[in-house]
A and B are shown apart, each in its own frame.
Chain A
Amino acid sequence: MSSAAISLKDLDISYGDTKVVRDVTFDVATGESFALVGESGSGKSTVLKAIAGLAPEWTGEVSVLGKPRGHGTDRAFSETCQMVFQDPYASLHPRKTIDTVLSEPLAIHGIGKRSEKVVEMLGAVGLDQRFRFRFPHQLSGGQRQRVAIARALMLEPKVMLLDEPTSALDVSVQAEILNLLKRLRREQGLTYLMVTHNLPVVSFMCDRMAVMNKGRIVEIAPKTALYDGSFADPYTRDLYAASGGNPDADPVVAAASESKDPA
């Protein structure tokens, strides 16, 4: 498929002798927002790491924007695909100013006009210019996550890998970051592959999702399945029920879909 931004085929990933992910196959279309859902230890973050080159022990095929991906870090690759990590308290260097953090990718790739680009990017992620020469500890969690997103966008990538970008944040801050991610995707035509355990966030951000359990994908479903809980796999249904189901669901429709379920 030429239109796939990310294409994984028969991906197996291991850490040492332990195989943690098996037979993962899916395509994410260009401009799509795709979610990987599952519990801790299901291997969802590992899939992202393998794509980003942080978990090099894999077999199978990984290609991003039509180009096959090698096993290590790759300079050309990082211009097209960037990752945002879960915990903004851990992912920013404590002794580098925001300006240094944001200019670094430009310096590594030999790109000029760094100052203008930093200023522009701070504006794009909704951070005031006064934060430019501050250190991470002077920023709140939400502000730090904005910096982490800005850093990932500095090289103008087309594909973003998001690893639980809001799970360390408060509800109201989460809303701001989700809005920001949604706006950036619309403005810059980005493709998202997002890992999360929060099903309502999937409903807000994503078009499709893959549900993972014990290192395997058990189901790929459109986000509309969240409206009525029409999942085929029993594990997914349990996960959906544990998340509280959909309290806004039309009871008649929900009952109808339930009775259809066995078929």
Chain B
Amino acid sequence: MTDVPLLEIEDLRVSFATPKGPVEVVKGLNLTLGREERLGIVGESGSGKSMTGRSILRLIRSPGRQTAKTLRFDGLDLMGQSNRQMRQIRGARISMIMQDPKFSLNPVMTIGHQIAEALQVHEKLPRRDLNARVIEMLNSVRINEPERVAKMYPHEVSGGMGQRVMIAMMLIPRPQLLIADEPTSALDVSVQAQVLDLIEELVTGNGMGLILISHDLNLVARYCDRIMVMNGGEVVEACAAADLHKASHPYTKGLLAAQPRMQETRDELPVLDRSGGAGT
């Protein structure tokens, strides 16, 4: 393989026009992702983490605008691609898992059909092979009785299963980069761990890159190699996941401290100073 990093971003900016002038929600973000690297982006609501994820796929809708000095995926300049070319990349080479399976799956299509559609858009396959691939994929996301589940509709499955179906859909064209935007925040704790273990296994097994976007610092630290903490559209801290406890930026420290612990001895949780912001 080449030494070209999987993803290179330099000076990424996303802005929205408002009556009071443009508001920047991502302010000059730089990032390099190596092949088979797992990067976590952490931040609170409004920090710009989801916008960063979406802008990699050029999914910022008008009136939002994105600019970047460099936005290069596998040596390919994404900013220079036409919409038609972008559609070839989305799903096939870069995939994204959204937060809530309830809103991301088509309610009037069977699960098998939806997964097959994701594949058909990018590959021409005879129907028999297509079905085989769908069943194989459902198997690999550990769904029991895949033949039966493939005939079901999204409302007939649970949240955890729905999210597995989403993962199956996103991974079936074998992308090189997976962006997971809060993949488990709609799920129960015990299911959360299963889904993340599954993502981790598939990502490392297929040699994919992963960008995991979440508000949960500890969760990201468990599943990623490197962490970026965002606040107000800027990256305030970047470090190796293992060094998270050595974080130096006051915002990161504040976030870590504000989380209750399993063995809580503090009488009061420290609170971030919001005097600069809008307050709670």
Chain A residues near B (Cβ < 8 Å): 39-40, 140-143, 146, 170-176, 178-179, 182, 197-201, 203-205, 226-227, 238-239, 242-249
B206 within 8 A of A: no
In contact, B262 and A203 (Cβ under 8 angstroms): yes
B70 within 8 A of A: no
Interface residue count on the B side (C-beta < 8 Å):
33
**Which of these, A176, A179, A242, A248, contacts B262 with CB under 8 Å?**
A248
In contact, A226 and B271 (Cβ under 8 angstroms): no
B250 within 8 A of A: no
**Which of these, A141, A142, A170, A200, contacts B260 with CB under 8 Å?**
A200
Which 8 residue pairs of A and B lie closest in terms of their CB atoms, listed nearest first? Answer: A142-B280, A246-B262, A175-B258, A204-B260, A175-B269, A200-B260, A203-B264, A242-B190
Q: Nearest CB to that of A223 among chain B residues?
A: B264
* Chain A contacts for B266, CB-based, 8 A: 204
Taking the closest CB of chain B, its distance from the CB of A37, in whole angstroms, is 10
In contact, A178 and B269 (Cβ under 8 angstroms): yes
In contact, B258 and A172 (Cβ under 8 angstroms): yes
In contact, A40 and B269 (Cβ under 8 angstroms): no
B270 within 8 A of A: yes
* Chain A contacts for B279, CB-based, 8 A: 140, 143
In contact, B269 and A204 (Cβ under 8 angstroms): yes
B108 within 8 A of A: no
In contact, A200 and B189 (Cβ under 8 angstroms): no
In contact, B188 and A40 (Cβ under 8 angstroms): yes
* Chain A contacts for B268, CB-based, 8 A: 179, 182
Taking the closest CB of chain A, its distance from the CB of B185, in whole angstroms, is 10
Q: Nearest CB to that of A37 among chain B residues?
A: B189
Contact A178/B260 with A172-B271, A204-B269 known, Cβ cut-off 8 Å: yes
